[in-house]
Structure 1
Amino acid sequence: MKNILLAITLLVSTIATAQSFEGKGDQKFQIGANIQDNVNGITLSYDYGLGENISIGVVTGYALNLNNGLTADFSDRFELEGRFNANLGSVLNIDNNFDLYPGISLSTKNFGGHLGMRYFFSSGFGIFSEFGTTFAKYNSDALTAAEKIHNQFTVNFGAVFNL
């Protein structure tokens, strides 16, 4: 009886173990909140694994709530970017369900970088958080408050799904 329980436990734990990044061909979809100074919005991202620890992706965001009397048109509220990630979860070997991914991005507004973390509760669902910053802005003049949207330090968090 002990052996049967042990075998069932091992089988269930093997099936229930999620892999945070599986390498080439791995696909992730993230949806979450975007928090910035004077702005709250939504972010969507898709990442595709090119190799054991490399992925590329696309991210879009839209500023929904403008605070402190800030006004902005669609072009200031919307952002689209391509990105490159170094998925270090397997290198760090903290937990099979955890991935740490620093990366760089090129957007419609700037060149920047991010540091993200994902944790999977199952093989298909997890949570993520990302911290992003701008390294170089396309507009080198003094930015208006609306132009600072997506051109400043950002925090994103939400749900991540394996596709």
Structure 2
Amino acid sequence: MKKVITLLFLVSFGFINAQKAFTGKGDTRVNVGANLQDGGSGIQGSVDFGLGENFSFGFVANYLLGADDRNIYVNNQIQTRTPDFGDRFDAKARINANLSSVIGVEQLDIYPGLSLGLRNFGGHVGGRYFFTDGFGVFTEIGFPIAKYSSDNGVFDKLNNQATFSLGASFNL
């Protein structure tokens, strides 16, 4: 029971003392967390730089730590292929519309945006909530809009599908 009361106190303290999630020009927000998707899971890191009251640009990178092997047929035999570094890694430049001042909740930054990456053009929708001036949590859903190649390689789908990420957010 003491653990439950302590947890409730910490959560309520975090909500009461929450800070602005996005203040605009000059902001630098860093997200680090888990990346979950079909066929693998890994880590995601991103950084966003505020350009105006409701606009930011940044970069995001994903690396799949656990990716499923694939069986393929070669000369009527089944071979197992393991994804290499190039199959597991993806990086993108992105722009965001930061909506905390629009929705009227300063502690919560909802940010839809577009990204241009190594493998596709895509979009994302995310949210950040800051408990203190320097620490918060984030969650994000990313999705491809158009991939660059019609080649359906063995591991092409790893970086051309919807992804879900969650983790910690920091204000630098």
Which residue in the other structure is 2:139 paired with? 129
What is the Cα-based RMSD across aligned positions, in Å? 1.7
**Gap regions ≥5 residues in structure 2:** 1-16, 71-80
Which residue in the other structure is 2:37 paired with? 36
Which residue in the other structure is 1:81 paired with? 92
Identity rate, percent? 50
Higher strand share: 2
Which residue in the other structure is 2:129 paired with? 119
Q: CA deviation at 1:76?
A: 1.0
Mapped to 1, the partners of 2:26 and 2:121 lie a distance apart of: 26
Which residue in the other structure is 1:162 paired with? 171
Q: CA deviation at 1:145?
A: 4.2
Q: CA deviation at 1:71?
A: 2.1
TM-score, normalised via structure 2 length? 0.82
Aligned length: 148
**Gap regions ≥5 residues in structure 1:** 1-15
CA contact (8 A) 2:40 2:158 kept: yes
Mapped to 1, the partners of 2:33 and 2:154 lie a distance apart of: 23
CA displacement 1:50-87 (0-9 Å, x = unmatched): 00000000011101001365721111111111000000
Which residue in the other structure is 1:18 paired with? 19
Mapped to 2, the partners of 1:20 and 1:137 lie a distance apart of: 32
TM-score, normalised via structure 1 length? 0.86
Mapped to 2, the partners of 1:139 and 1:36 lie a distance apart of: 20
